[in-house]
């Protein structure tokens, strides 16, 4: 090595076997940076140059092997490309970009073909570029503990493995399995990885290095399987009868799963398809070409920004009031042990906190605890928890009707009926029992926090913690700041949300807060289309094609139609009939009141839910349509635009109204909260990456056809005029 390595320790034992221990100073997790690549290459050179070294084991000095490439470094490459394009032209910029973005791939290939055996000894997380490093080693030993996970999750941030992953995985596994693994980006446990052919051995953590060394000592081969002449890939040739059984369905599955919205998924397909027809070095070159292309797509940039960078910043407390000491939350009260309250109690106890679960009487409180029992039993049945975990979790939950049990709680979350009078009574009872330092939180979904806080005797300690259903699955929580909510309440709420391993965004108090307001616009657009005469199946497909996880009618069935009608009626009562959509009201009244169709909960909604069978769109929907459009006359792209634009406009309005004050929260919140087309990077990034001017033009076109719900707000008009972006303010603040 020319310079001593900073990120690796290197030693050689008495048998002549090198051990490179990756242990980056000042970081809790190893990541691949330019310096790491240089040092790794230096290690390969040193091992090759020293005749006394037989081979080398690579391991980590930290609890995890590594999380993979530093995505901010990849982002930096994109910025460098733009700079070079402006100064030296597109071709020079592209050449530089291609060479730089394939650096990692070349270092790994050098390691693989250096002539001496390399083995990886892996414990903990080993993901992305780090797993590609392990795949380039000639032998892989994984620790058989619970924490060890390997995988290539790049697709989740709009990227794909560009360090040889697509080529090596496709040469180790059956093509169908390889494609599935790359498309899903799953993290695999050690034994699973071994069974899939991705690792050679599994051993107790304390023995992995020794096992890897023993493999080298026993004469392990320094030639990768694909570098052996006459190598045959596990599924045989692409152009063969077997290949023809794989590729046409693979293409169909790709289309079904992505609707062609994810360039990275398409690049995986192409890279494997082309690469398998070429020798390894050319296959890697093909992969690098696709990687350089994908890195520059707006989808990758948007997804990296929102799902990696912004999410990381938010989870690390970017929006937490700075001056408040970290809160110590040991005991949490949950009042209302119904559907939401039981879920909240469960996730809180899961995180190790003590829980007091209160309802009107002992039986109701016990029923909430029984729900927790059911949830953890489900985890046990799926192999994700042990019986001892269940016992410990249930021991942490005290179910009681007695408010006095709240006397030593640090936080109380109420989830009683959505009725201001019931809430007011509960607020009074809880505050009478709570210690002075404790924070009171409401899980209301429709009642303004500032209004509820009026009955509180300490409104500065009163905050909204808005969960989504089902609580144990949904990763987003909105922390609602009322007009009088103090910083300590917001900070405590965010600390609690982090403790239960969810992502909290701070939203100023307003009707529908943030997420529900946007997603209700999506559902309403589906209702509108139905009443216009668009075939129901086309509405649902267009929703998914736009990138939403489920169609609007399906989503409405899950949430319950009567709840939608109730919210509509409450809005009408408070704000007048101009505030609601008469078409939507007519449809919901017909469905709920005249036809008794409430959604999945009574097995009859926009869909029918036959016992033991698959749900099907209710044929009677056609009768409710005043007229029916000829499907061939409908522009599907327009339907898709309507779905995304109507939600993005709501998101833009929340910024204009000061409900959302940081674009990262709208973007992360829209993807985690209601699955807003992830490839866009979220509801505001959708506008930013399109450009406000183009977005306003699109909104105006829809406005002229469909009315004022598509009218762009002033902040967007200003941005369209001056080329501004939502993220400009954030950059200025940084
Ligand atoms: P639920 O009807 O399932 O549960 C409410 C529980 O509160 C019942 O067990 C009831 O016995 C109990 N309760 C009523 N009055 C009480 C009192 N005075 N003291 C103690 N307990 C009392 O309702 P839910 O769906 O769990 O909703 C609860 C809250 O969560 C509501 O504010 C709702 O708006 C909000 N929320 C619901 C959802 C959802 O999807 N269901 C999502 C987010 C927020």
Per-residue pLDDT of 20-59, as tens digits, reads: 999 999 999 999 999 999 999 999 999 999 999 999 999 9
Q: Whose CA is nearest to atom 9 of ligand 1?
A: 338
The last residue of one of the domains, among 296, 322, 352, is 296
To test the pocket of ligand 1, the residue of 334, 336, 520 to mutate (highest count of ligand atoms within 8 Å of its CB) is: 336
Residues 6+ apart with CB under 8 A from 314: 503, 504, 505, 664, 665, 668
Question: How far away, in angstroms, is 701 Cα from ligand 1 center?
Answer: 42
> With 0-12 CB in 10 A as exposed, 13-18 as middle and 19+ as buried, what is 592?
buried
Within-domain flag for 252 = yes
Helices (H), 218-297: 241-258, 263-275, 280-295
- CB neighbourhood size of 273 (10 A): 20
Residues having CB within 6 Å of any atom of ligand 1: 335-341, 358-360, 364, 415-418, 422, 425-426, 443-445, 467, 469
Please state the pTM of the whole predicted model: 0.93
Within-domain flag for 304 = no
Q: Whose CA is nearest to atom 40 of ligand 1?
A: 469
In which order are the strands placed within the sheet that holds 439-442? 397-400, 354-358, 331-335, 411-414, 439-442, 462-467, 476-481, 503-508
498, 522: one domain:
no
The last residue of one of the domains, among 296, 321, 348, is 296
For residue 439, what is the domain's CATH number? 3.40.50.720
499, 522: one domain:
no
Within-domain flag for 325 = no
45, 186: one domain:
yes
For residue 681, what is the domain's CATH number? 1.10.1040.50
100, 210: one domain:
yes
488, 427: one domain:
yes
Q: Could you give the number of structural domains in the chain? A: 3
Question: How far away, in angstroms, is 59 Cα from ligand 1 center?
Answer: 50
Q: Which domain holds residue 482?
A: 331-511
Q: Whose CA is nearest to atom 12 of ligand 1?
A: 336
| 10-residue stretch averages of pLDDT, the chain, 734 residues long | 80 97 97 95 98 98 96 81 90 90 96 98 98 98 96 95 97 95 95 97 98 98 96 93 93 94 97 97 97 92 94 96 94 97 98 98 98 97 93 98 98 96 97 97 95 96 97 97 98 98 97 94 97 98 98 96 90 89 94 96 96 95 94 97 98 97 98 98 97 98 97 98 91 65
What is the 8-class DSSP label of residue 306? I
To test the pocket of ligand 1, the residue of 415, 468, 555 to mutate (highest count of ligand atoms within 8 Å of its CB) is: 415
Using the structure block, give the residue that is written with the tokens 């698959």: 614
To test the pocket of ligand 1, the residue of 335, 370, 371, 416 to mutate (highest count of ligand atoms within 8 Å of its CB) is: 416
Question: How far away, in angstroms, is 339 Cα from ligand 1 center?
Answer: 7
Ligand 1 atom closest to residue 358's alpha carbon, by position in its atom list: 20
410, 544: one domain:
no
Report pLDDT for 732: 64
Distances (CA, A) of 438 to 199, 400, 489: 50, 19, 9
For residue 44, what is the domain's CATH number? 3.90.226.10
The last residue of one of the domains, among 511, 535, 570, is 511
107, 139: one domain:
yes
Within-domain flag for 734 = no
274, 361: one domain:
no
566, 588: one domain:
yes
Cα 397 off chain centre by:
29
439, 539: one domain:
no
Residue 75 CA to residue 81 CA, distance in Å, equals: 10
724, 700: one domain:
yes
Ligand 1 atom closest to residue 559's alpha carbon, by position in its atom list: 40
Question: How far away, in angstroms, is 336 Cα from ligand 1 center?
Answer: 6
Report pLDDT for 734: 61
158, 282: one domain:
yes
Distances (CA, A) of 346 to 84, 480, 509: 53, 22, 27
Question: How far away, in angstroms, is 572 Cα from ligand 1 center?
Answer: 23
> Per residue in 250-273, pLDDT tens?
999 999 999 999 999 999 999 999
């Amino acid at each position: 090595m020319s310079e001593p390595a900073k990120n690796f320790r290197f030693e050689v034992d008495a048998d002549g076997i090198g051990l490179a221990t990756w242990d980056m100073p000042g970081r809790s997790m190893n990541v691949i940076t330019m310096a790491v690549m240089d040092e790794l290459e230096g290690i390969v050179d040193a091992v090759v140059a020293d005749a006394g070294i037989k081979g080398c084991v690579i391991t980590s000095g930290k609890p995890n092997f590594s999380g993979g490439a530093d995505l901010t470094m990849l982002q930096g490459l994109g910025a460098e490309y733009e700079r070079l394009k402006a100064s030296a032209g597109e071709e020079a910029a592209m050449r530089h970009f291609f060479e730089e973005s394939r650096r990692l791939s070349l270092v790994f290939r050098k390691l693989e073909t250096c002539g001496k055996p390399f083995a990886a000894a892996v414990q903990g997380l080993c993901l992305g570029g780090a797993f590609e490093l392990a795949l380039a080693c000639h032998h892989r030993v994984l620790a058989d503990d619970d924490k060890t996970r390997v995988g290539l999750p790049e697709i989740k941030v709009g990227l794909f493995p560009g360090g040889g992953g697509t080529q090596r995985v496709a040469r180790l596994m059956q093509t169908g399995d390889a494609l599935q693994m790359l498309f899903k980006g799953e993290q695999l446990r050690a034994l699973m990885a071994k069974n899939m052919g991705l690792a050679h051995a599994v051993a107790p953590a304390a023995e992995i290095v020794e096992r890897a060394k023993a493999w080298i000592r026993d004469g392990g081969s320094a030639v990768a399987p694909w570098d052996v002449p006459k190598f045959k890939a596990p599924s045989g040739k692409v152009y063969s009868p077997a290949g023809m059984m794989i590729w046409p369905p693979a293409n169909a599955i790709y289309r079904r799963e992505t609707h062609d919205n994810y360039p990275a998924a398409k690049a995986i397909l192409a890279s494997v398809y082309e690469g398998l027809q070429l020798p390894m070095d050319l296959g890697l070159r093909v992969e690098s070409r696709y990687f350089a292309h994908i890195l520059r797509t707006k989808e990758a940039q948007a997804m990296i920004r929102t799902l990696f960078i912004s999410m990381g910043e938010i989870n690390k407390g970017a929006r937490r009031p700075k001056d408040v000491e970290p809160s110590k939350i040991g005991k949490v009260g949950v009042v209302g042990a119904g559907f939401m309250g039981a879920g909240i109690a469960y996730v809180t106890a899961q995180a190790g906190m003590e829980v007091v679960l209160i309802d009107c009487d002992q039986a109701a409180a016990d029923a909430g605890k029984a729900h927790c029992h059911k949830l953890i039993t489900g985890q046990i049945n799926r192999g994700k928890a042990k019986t001892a975990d269940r016992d410990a979790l249930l021991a942490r939950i005290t179910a009681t009707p007695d408010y006095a049990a709240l006397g030593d709680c640090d936080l109380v979350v109420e989830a009683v009926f959505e009725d201001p009078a019931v809430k007011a009574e509960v607020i009074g009872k809880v505050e009478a029992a709570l210690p002075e330092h404790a924070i009171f939180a409401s899980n209301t979904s429709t009642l303004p926090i500032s209004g509820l806080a009026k009955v509180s005797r300490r409104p500065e300690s009163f905050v909204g913690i808005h969960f989504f259903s089902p609580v144990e699955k949904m990763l987003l929580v909105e922390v609602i700041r009322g007009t009088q909510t103090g910083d300590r309440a917001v900070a405590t709420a965010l600390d609690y949300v982090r403790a239960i391993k969810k992502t909290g965004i701070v939203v100023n108090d307003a009707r529908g807060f943030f997420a529900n307001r946007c997603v209700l616009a999506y559902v309403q657009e589906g209702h509108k289309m139905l009443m216009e005469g668009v075939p129901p199946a086309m509405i649902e497909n267009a929703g998914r094609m736009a990138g939403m996880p489920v169609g609007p009618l399906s989503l409405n069935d899950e949430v319950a139609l009567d709840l939608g009608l109730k919210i509509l009626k409450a809005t009408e009562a408070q704000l007048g009939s101009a505030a609601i959509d008469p078409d939507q009201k007519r449809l919901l009244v017909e469905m709920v009141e005249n036809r008794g169709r409430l959604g999945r909960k009574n097995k009859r909604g926009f869909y029918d839910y036959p016992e033991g069978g698959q749900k099907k769109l209710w044929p009677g929907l056609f009768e409710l349509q005043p007229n029916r459009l000829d499907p061939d006359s409908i522009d599907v792209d327009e339907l898709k635009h309507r779905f995304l634009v109507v939600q993005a406009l709501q998101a833009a309005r929340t910024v204009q109204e000061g409900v959302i004050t940081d674009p990262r929260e709208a973007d992360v919140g829209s993807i985690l909260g209601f699955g807003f087309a992830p490839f866009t990077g979220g509801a505001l990034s959708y506008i930013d990456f399109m450009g406000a001017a183009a977005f306003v033009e699109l909104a105006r076109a829809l406005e002229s056809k469909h009315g004022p719900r598509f009218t762009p707000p002033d902040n967007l008009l200003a941005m369209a005029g001056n080329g501004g972006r939502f993220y400009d303010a954030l950059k200025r603040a940084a």
